[in-house]
């Protein structure tokens, strides 16, 4: 069984309404810093990530930070629908066999980051050794084993053909390779992006439509068979790609890739212009909109509809909010 990743910074099982309330009203208290890592990491976990990320050659601080971002958004109380727990989302049986007492207090507590983060680094190294003879990229095979189990990687001779696992590996490796020194969208850039998106209100939804230059015809076909080939407009990620291109930020094409190219935003820290993502987990993101404030987004919702304003809980699977980052002279 796949070990489903939990919602970043939100916690699994929450209804969309509760999630929206938490995002709009909650106040975060952990500063986020970037020194020494290409991913933002809460300050109190930075030293733990840097140390645990140096446990073996296959594990780096950036890779571990990306994994923890993907798994829980650094939420030590996160719990997935299948029972994975804590900041590193250990299943109970895995924790029983691989959890360590990282802070030497006599207890192995899966919800204590001082235990869970070192355990994640050690466990990654253990499974890297399990799959060391499997052909292909060693880090990708290791990440696939963390998500789907070493047995699946050994069985398929590499990353198994599971959609969740492949998205999981792709998302983490993409985050881990982000260049240091990138900057989150400024208030001026977010305003520019929002204004650009507002000018597209009323444009039709087109499956696969939208480029950095504006509306375009799309492709065939949506999961329900709707084609965008004859429709000039935007799909959800085409709209966000266009809006941020106007602000000088290049985003990749799909909603899942755009999440990987952005910095997760803690509850209570949302700003207009942030991107709002939907999916059962961050590995299965399928939709994105632009936060405008007050619990509302601007988005291209679905075939047959037009670019419009919607409440954040327009879909029941709101999973994360993130802020686009600049990648100077490099297209993602």
Catalytic residues, which ones?
Answer: 236, 287, 299
Burial call 291-307: b when 16+ CB within 10 Å, e when fewer? bbeebbbbbbbebeeeb
Contact between 123 and 94 under an 8 Å Cβ cutoff? The reply is: yes
What CA–CA distance (Å, rounded) separates 83 from 93? 10
Q: Regarding beta strands 232-233 and 216-217, do their DSSP bridges make them parallel or antiparallel, or are they unpaired?
A: antiparallel
Burial of 96 (0-12, 13-18, 19+ CB in 10 A): exposed
Closest CA to 320 of 64, 71, 46, 35: 71
What CA–CA distance (Å, rounded) separates 272 from 296? 9
* DSSP summary character for residue 33: E
């Amino acid at each position: 069984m796949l070990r489903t990743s939990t919602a970043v910074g939100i916690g699994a099982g929450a209804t969309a309404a509760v999630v929206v309330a938490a995002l709009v009203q909650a106040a975060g208290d952990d500063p986020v810093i970037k020194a020494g890592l290409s991913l933002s990491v809460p300050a109190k976990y930075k030293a733990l990530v840097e140390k645990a990320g140096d446990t073996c050659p296959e594990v780096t601080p950036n890779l571990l930070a990306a994994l923890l971002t993907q798994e829980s958004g650094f939420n030590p109380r996160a719990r997935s629908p299948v029972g994975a727990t804590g900041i590193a989302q250990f299943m109970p049986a895995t924790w029983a066999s691989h959890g360590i007492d990282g802070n030497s207090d006599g207890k192995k507590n899966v919800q204590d980051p001082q235990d869970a983060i070192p355990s994640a680094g050690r466990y990654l190294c253990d499974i890297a050794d399990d799959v060391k003879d499997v052909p292909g990229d060693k880090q990708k095979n290791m990440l696939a084993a963390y998500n789907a189990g070493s047995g699946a990687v050994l069985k398929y001779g590499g990353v198994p053909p599971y959609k969740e696992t492949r998205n999981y590996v792709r998302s983490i490796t993409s985050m881990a390779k982000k260049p240091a020194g990138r900057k989150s969208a400024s208030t001026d850039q977010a305003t520019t992006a929002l204004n650009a998106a507002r000018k597209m209100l009323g444009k039709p939804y087109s499956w696969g439509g939208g480029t950095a230059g504006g509306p375009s015809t799309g492709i065939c076909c949506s999961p329900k068979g709707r084609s965008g080939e004859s429709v000039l407009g935007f799909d959800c990620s085409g709209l966000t790609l266009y809006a941020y291109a106007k602000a000088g930020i290049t985003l990749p094409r799909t909603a899942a890739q755009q999440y990987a190219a952005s910095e997760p935003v803690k509850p209570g820290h949302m700003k207009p212009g942030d991107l709002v993502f939907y999916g059962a987990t961050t590995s299965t993101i399928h939709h994105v909109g632009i936060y405008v404030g007050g619990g509302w987004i601007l988005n291209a919702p679905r075939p047959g509809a037009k670019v419009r304003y919607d409440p954040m809980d327009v879909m029941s699977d709101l999973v994360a909010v993130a802020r686009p980052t600049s990648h100077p002279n490099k297209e993602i």
